[in-house]
Amino acid sequence: MLQLPHLALALLVNSQLHPARVAEHPARRAPSAPQMAASFVPGETCTGEKVVVVGSTGYIGKAVVREAVRRGYPTVAITRSKARAAAEKKFEGATIVEADVCDPSSLAAVFEKGSVDVVVSCLASRSGSKKDSYAIDYQATLNCLEAARAAGARHFVLLSAFCVKSAERQDSYALQFQYAKKAMEEKLREQEDMTYTIVRPTAFFKSVSGQLEVVDGGAPFVYFDLGNGKSATCNPISEPDLAAALIDTIADESRRNAVWNLGGPDDGLSMQQQGDLVAEVLGKPPKTLGVPVVIFDVIVNFLQGAADLFKSEKLEEAAEFARIGRYYAIEDMLTTDPSERYGKTTLREHYERIAVEGQEYDPYTSVFGSKEAVESFKK
Ligand SMILES: NC(=O)c1ccc[n+]([C@@H]2O[C@H](COP(=O)([O-])OP(=O)(O)OC[C@H]3O[C@@H](n4cnc5c(N)ncnc54)[C@H](OP(=O)(O)O)[C@@H]3O)[C@@H](O)[C@H]2O)c1
C-alpha cells in the first residue's frame, strides 16, 4: 500500500466518512426533564442529568465526554480499557468505567437501575467491514440500548452517518456499514421506552485532513475526478462542534425522536477546492492530481471477482473497503439547509490550526496513521 500512495489515499483518506430534519413518532412518550424547552440555549444548556457515553474512546466519543463535562453533566465514559482511558486528557472530570459493549451481562452490571438518564452512543466499527459493522454499529449499540432501557434511562443519542441515506434508498452501491447503522436506527425507532435523537453528520475534519502533511512535503493533493471539472463536495464538521450538537439534543425538545442531518458551517468544498485551500494555507502554489474515479470500478471488480473465485472472506472485505473508497469519491456529503449546518469552525480555520500545531494521527482513517508514515510519503 505504501508503494502506491495516491491509490492508497484513494481508498483510505476518506474511508471513514461516513433533507431537512424528519420528525418521527410524534405520539411517542416524551418524559420531562429539568430545564427543558423554552430556556434551551444551543451549546450551553445543561439539564444536569446523568450522561453515559459509549464509544467514548473514539474521535467523536472523546469530544463528547469533554463537552458533557464542560456543560456540567455528571458524565460516565464507558471504555473497554480503563488503563488506556485514564491517560486520556479529554476524560478529566468524567468517571471512567470499564465494560464490554459486546457482552450484555457486562453492560447490565454498569447500567444499574436509575444510574443513567441519557446515553450517547459514538460506537463504530473500526474497520467498516460487514462483520465488524454488524457486531458494533448494530449489535453492540443495540446491547447499550437494551441496557439503557432496563436501567430506566430517558433519552438515547445515536451518532449515525449522513450516508445511511444510501441504505434507505437501497442504492446499488450502498455499503454494509450503512445497512448495519440503518438496522440500529430502526431498533431505536421501534422501542417506546426512551426518546431518541439520531444525528447523521456529513464528514469529520479528520476525513479531509489526511493530505496536509504530504502536500507540505511537496506532493500534489490527490482528488477523484468525476469528469466535467467535478469532484465530491462536503461541508465537514469539527469534532467539538459535533460533540456540542450531540449534547444539545439532550435538552432540545425539537430534536426528540428525530433524525438530524448535520454538517459544519462551510458552504461546501469540492475535493479540488480542499486541495487548493490546503496549498493556500501552507503558502504553496496549488498542485492537484485528478485521478479518474473509474479506477475504483477496476479495483472493486477485480477484488470482488477474486473473492467470489476463492470464496475468501478477506478478499470480500478488501472489495468492501474499495467500495467504501469509491463511495466517498463519488457522493457529496453536503447539507445546505441552515438548520442542518452547525458550529463555528470552518475547514480553513482547521487547516490553519493543524498546519501550525500538527494533527492527531488516526490510523483508522488515513494511510498517514503515524509520523513515520508521513515521513515515508515525503521521501
Ligand atoms: N469519519 C467521518 O467523516 C464520518 C462522517 C459521518 C459519520 N461518521 C460515523 O461516525 C462513526 C465514527 O466515529 P469516530 O470516528 O469517532 O469512531 P472511532 O474513532 O473509530 O471510535 C469508535 C469507538 O467505538 C469503539 N469500538 C469499536 N469497536 C469496538 C469493540 N469491538 N468493542 C468495544 N468498543 C469498540 C472504539 O473503542 P476503542 O477505542 O476501544 O477501539 C471507539 O470508542 C462511524 O459510525 C461513522 O460512520 C463518520
For ligand 1, atom 40: residue with the closest CA:
80
Mean pLDDT across the stretch 312-330? 96
Half-sphere exposure of 201 (CA within 13 A, CB side): 28
Whether residue 198 has its Cβ less than 6 Å from ligand 1:
no
Whether residue 240 has its Cβ less than 6 Å from ligand 1:
no
Whether residue 12 has its Cβ less than 6 Å from ligand 1:
no
Encode pLDDT of 134-168 as tens digits. 999 999 999 999 999 999 999 999 999 999 999 99
Whether residue 144 has its Cβ less than 6 Å from ligand 1:
no
Whether residue 164 has its Cβ less than 6 Å from ligand 1:
no
Whether residue 59 has its Cβ less than 6 Å from ligand 1:
yes
Cell numbers 443513567 correspond to what residue?
A: 116
Across the chain, mean pLDDT equals 88
| Least trusted range by pLDDT, from 19-33, 187-201, 219-233 | 19-33
Encode pLDDT of 93-140 as tens digits. 999 999 999 999 999 999 999 999 999 999 999 999 999 999 999 999
| Nearest CA-CA partner of 324 in 14, 8, 1, 2 | 14
| Alpha helices per DSSP H over the chain | 5-12, 59-71, 82-86, 104-110, 130-133, 141-150, 164-168, 176-190, 212-216, 239-251, 271-282, 294-310, 313-330, 347-357, 371-378
The amino acid at residue 296 is F
Please state, in angstroms and as integers, the Cα–Cα distance from residue 102 to each residue in 54, 107, 131, 370, following that order: 11, 8, 13, 29
Q: How far is the CA of 87 from the centre of ligand 1 (A)?
A: 19
CB 260 within 8 A of CB 242: no
Q: Is the pLDDT of residue 286 over 70?
A: yes
pLDDT of residue 3: 28
CB 201 within 8 A of CB 235: no
Whether residue 124 has its Cβ less than 6 Å from ligand 1:
yes
Q: How far is the CA of 140 from the centre of ligand 1 (A)?
A: 12
Q: How far is the CA of 122 from the centre of ligand 1 (A)?
A: 6
Q: Is the pLDDT of residue 14 over 70?
A: no
